[in-house]
């Protein structure tokens, strides 16, 4: 079999806003450095994503000198900046799925910028290092923690899996519909489903759970328009327990660095 090579790394500094393609990253206890440590919440401190606010896709993010720059993709609105990391702010309790976590409320000027764009009451909060949000115990191995990602520190997808899907679609879709952290080349379609334990760069990962896909995959990340693809097509061959699966969730067993071009070493396959 041809080698599996890590071809792309993505981080999403603010959950559900546009991601950033990077060449390398530190792996920290919650996942990739600067990945989904910021979160948009409503007036009741409940998390907001593209599921209910697809316009979040139109906010691009970039990082320069430990500062995150937020820009609107289509409107001429002055960009705004936030620190990549904060240690001070008003401590509040937020809800993300079934989890209640401590977060730091940052700045009302940033809130206003976002409220004016989205036309809702919202605020931006940060997950400090002291916050411990645990991976589902059904899949955790050592009390692993996660940022504001849906449930797991990493998502990996094979380029062959996307190519296989696109061969079935009338209009091919980009990888940003699926918001992975890692994309790799090589192997057969859905090669990731066969993996149990892998090493990429300095990091050993356990492949713990297939990723159930939601309406965000049907949202064009450049204009927020939605249709029934790719879920309609995926449901014809990727359905499991009434959920559409695409990609695999990972947890790490150590800390270190990871880079595009690293070979993915297969340490253990699923039976």
Per-residue pLDDT reduced to its tens digit, 5-58: 999 999 999 999 999 999 999 999 999 999 999 999 999 999 999 999 999 999
Supply 186's token pair: 């090589």
**What φ, ψ does residue 144 adopt, rounded to 5°?**
-65, 150
Residue 195 reports pLDDT greater than 80? yes
pLDDT in tens, 185-194: 999 999 999 9
Find the mean pLDDT for residues 222-249.
98
Query: Please, what is the average pLDDT of the chain?
Result: 98
The DSSP annotation for 152-199 comes to -SEEEEEHHHHHHHHHHSSS---GGGT--SEEEESSSTTGGGGEEEEE
Predicted confidence band of residue 108 (pLDDT cuts 50, 70, 90): confident
Tokens 């240690």 correspond to what residue?
Answer: 87
Predicted confidence band of residue 1 (pLDDT cuts 50, 70, 90): low
The DSSP annotation for 66-82 comes to TEEEEEESSS----EEE
pLDDT computed for residue 115 by the predictor? 98
The DSSP annotation for 39-71 comes to EEEETTSBB--TTT-GGGGGEEEEEETTEEEEE
Percent of the chain topping pLDDT 70:
100
**Which secondary structure element, helix H or strand E, spans residue 97, and what is its range?**
none
Domains of the chain with bracketed CATH? 5-31+135-269 (2.40.33.20), 36-126 (no CATH)
pLDDT in tens, 125-154: 999 999 999 999 999 999 999 999 999 999
């Amino acid at each position: 079999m041809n080698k599996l090579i890590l071809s792309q790394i993505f981080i999403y500094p603010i959950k559900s806003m546009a991601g950033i393609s990077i060449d390398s990253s530190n792996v920290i206890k919650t996942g990739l450095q600067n990945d989904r440590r910021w979160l948009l919440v409503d007036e009741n401190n409940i998390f907001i994503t593209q599921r209910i606010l697809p316009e979040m896709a139109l906010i691009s993010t970039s990082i320069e000198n430990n500062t995150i720059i937020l820009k609107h993709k289509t409107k001429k609105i002055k960009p705004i900046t936030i620190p990549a990391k904060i240690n001070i702010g008003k401590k509040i309790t937020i809800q993300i799925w079934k989890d209640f976590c401590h977060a730091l409320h940052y700045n009302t000027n940033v809130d206003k910028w976002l409220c004016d764009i989205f036309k809702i009451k919202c605020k931006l909060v940060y997950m400090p290092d002291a916050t411990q949000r645990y991976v589902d115990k059904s899949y955790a191995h050592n009390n692993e923690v996660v940022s504001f990602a849906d449930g797991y520190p990493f998502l990996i997808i094979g380029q062959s899996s996307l190519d296989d899907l696109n061969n079935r679609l009338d209009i091919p879709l980009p990888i940003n519909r699926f918001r992975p952290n890692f994309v790799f080349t090589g192997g057969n379609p859905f090669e990731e489903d066969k993996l149990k334990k892998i090493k990429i760069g300095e990091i050993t990962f356990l492949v713990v759970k297939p990723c159930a896909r939601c309406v965000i995959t049907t949202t064009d990340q450049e204009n927020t328009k939605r249709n029934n693809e790719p879920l309609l097509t995926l449901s014809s061959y990727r359905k499991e327990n009434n959920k559409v699966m695409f990609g695999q969730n990972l947890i790490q067993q150590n800390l270190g660095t990871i880079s595009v071009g690293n070979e993915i070493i297969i340490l253990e396959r699923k039976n």
